Amino acid sequence: MDSPLRLIAVNPVDRLARTIEALLVVASSPLSVSELADAAEDDPERVETALGLLRERYAEGKSGIVLERVAGGYAFRASRDAADACARLFERPVERGLSQAALETLAIVAYLGPCSRPEIARIRGVAADSAVASLVERGLIAEAGRETGAVGAVRYRTTPLFERVFGLESLAALPRLDDLGEDSGEIRERLLEVASARAS
Amino acid sequence: MAPAAVYELDLDLEAFEGPFDLLLTLLLKEELEPREVDVVGIVLAFVERLSERDEADLEACGEFLVLVAALLELKARLLFPDEAAELDALEPEEAAEELARRLAEYRQMKEAAAWLAERLAAERGRFFRLGPAPVAPRGERRLAPQSSDALAAALRALAAFPPNVSLGHMALRFPPVSQFVERFRSLLGRRRRFDFDSEVEGLSRVEQAVAFLALLELRKSGEIALSQAAPFAPIRVSRLSHEVPGSSRAKEVPGFSQAPAVSEPERTAGLELELEPVEGREAGFRPSDSERTSTWTARSA
């Protein structure tokens, strides 16, 4: 036999996994399965299989690099073990100094988006201009068309960066709205209680 | 004195800094947006002022409450302009329901924000690469294989001299004026007068025009006289000088003092010069100059 002896047999899926590994190292934002399949010129199903192989290989605790499913795609990130070292050298500027007003605005856009500034102001009871501007600047929300009507206000939606920063696979990973807050019935009863206490 | 204390209350807010009464004036003049005014800041400043005193000034408190309540109502109306009327029309029961619904909605969003804050704190250890998106792998234009020979052939085809365009169809040719001048002189040497029209008959329009120019030249130099019985009647040309035909130069005749200072050949040369560009172009034509000239000499002979 002319060819040199190979210690590791390379099967086709393993070769595809290597290609995907390379694509993910170069990428600076999550890549979807279809994007990976197009770039690797391979079948999406085989890409999924290769990704399964890689997720096993790059699971938390196995390597300094972790493969995660985030923002509708796949991306590498640093392992949590290395977080302190990373924090000494890098920062996460996107979320630094995120105010309560900005978080509330972000929650409204994430749940009700696309929605406009007047809508946000109606729910929060205060003007939302500066909170919206700060979120746009951070890249957590972005413009998404206008409301219908003569003076259609600009509408906003969350960006893939929002999902990535908050570690969400998609917006569907947010907790259900019904599970949050009190029932309006409870609030109404409390209001009536206060009213009757004042009246007596 | 007590109400004055309210008006003189010093405020240090984000949108405004100064006494309370100035703030109210600015609001009434609409020079300050009520929604920019932090009402809590005003209340806190007043409470602080109160706490500095030993006894509670009820009159000042009452005055302040009225003012702040009015301010709050103004701000609320401006924040929800279109909903003010809508809420007015509601029954107390419905209003309570609406208020409860809104409070519940806001409470939900507040909790969602709290969940996001928790999530953010939990995810603080996640570090990942952020940067411009990679170059899209699509939209690439593929070119057919090219050879340098094909390129050279294409360039050679482009660099070839264009074929000579024939201008043969452009029949406008001008015989030199001097030719007619000489011809008419020799004619007048033999005859005293001749008929211009019959002499140029059969020539082309352009040739007839040049012959006429020669006639005018001869008239100018005083060698001939022209007469015509009526407009469009035949032009009669008669000899004026008694000179020997062929050498009838105006300046050589003593009697012709008004004769132009310029000698005749020069003048005809000047005329020829004017026509030169056309002649020059003509030089490239197939019927050569010499061919044409021979035709003329044959005629005048």
Q: What is the ipTM of this complex?
A: 0.74
* A129 and A65 within one domain: no
User: Structural domain tally of chain A?
Assistant: 2
Segment A146-158 shows an average pLDDT of 80
Report the share of chain B in percent with pLDDT over 90: 3
The pLDDT score that the predictor gives to residue A33 is 93
Q: Is the pLDDT of residue B259 over 50?
A: no
The pLDDT score that the predictor gives to residue B266 is 46
Domain boundaries, given as residue ranges, for chain B: 2-104, 177-300
User: How far are the Cα atoms of B27, B71, B245 from residue B75, in angstroms, in the given order?
Assistant: 10, 6, 119
* A36 and A113 within one domain: no
Report yes or no on A19 lying in a domain: yes
Report yes or no on A4 lying in a domain: no
Report yes or no on A196 lying in a domain: no
CATH superfamily of the B177-300 domain: Structural maintenance of chromosome 1. Chain E (1.10.10.580)
Residue A28: which of B102, B125, B130 has the nearest Cβ? B130
* Domain C-terminal end among A58, A74, A89: A89
* A102 and A180 within one domain: yes
Report yes or no on A194 lying in a domain: no
3-state helix, strand, coil split of chain B in percent (to 5) is 60, 5, 35
User: How far are the Cα atoms of A1, A10, A145, B131 from residue A5, in angstroms, in the given order?
Assistant: 9, 12, 60, 42
Q: Does B227 touch chain A (CB under 8 A)?
A: no
Q: How far is A9 from chain B (nearest CA, A)?
A: 30
Report yes or no on A59 lying in a domain: yes
* A150 and A71 within one domain: no
Between B33 and A2, name the one with better pLDDT. Answer: B33
* A99 and A176 within one domain: yes
Partners of residue B40 in chain A, C-beta under 8 Å: none
* A61 and A26 within one domain: yes
Partners of residue A111 in chain B, C-beta under 8 Å: 109, 112
Q: Whole domain around residue A178: which residue ranges?
A: 94-185
* A52 and A66 within one domain: yes
The pLDDT score that the predictor gives to residue A3 is 57
* A181 and A99 within one domain: yes
The pLDDT score that the predictor gives to residue A47 is 93
Inter-residue contact B123 to A167 (CB < 8 Å)? yes
* A99 and A58 within one domain: no
The pLDDT score that the predictor gives to residue A156 is 93
Q: Please give the model's pTM, rounded to 2 decimal places.
A: 0.46
Segment B182-205 shows an average pLDDT of 87
Out of A151-160, B232-241, B289-298, least confident range: B289-298
* A71 and A103 within one domain: no
The pLDDT score that the predictor gives to residue B109 is 87
Q: Do A164 and B128 lie within an 8 Å CB cutoff?
A: yes
The pLDDT mean for chain A works out to 83
Q: Is the pLDDT of residue B36 over 60?
A: yes
Phi-psi region of B89 (alpha: psi -120 to 50; beta: other; left: phi over 0): alpha
The pLDDT score that the predictor gives to residue A151 is 62
The pLDDT score that the predictor gives to residue B81 is 63
Q: CATH number of the domain that A23 lies in?
A: 1.10.10.10
Specify the residue for token string 């340098």: B148
Highest mean predicted confidence (pLDDT) among B168-177, B251-260, B290-299? B168-177
* A82 and A69 within one domain: yes
* A44 and A59 within one domain: yes
Q: Is the pLDDT of residue B129 over 90?
A: no
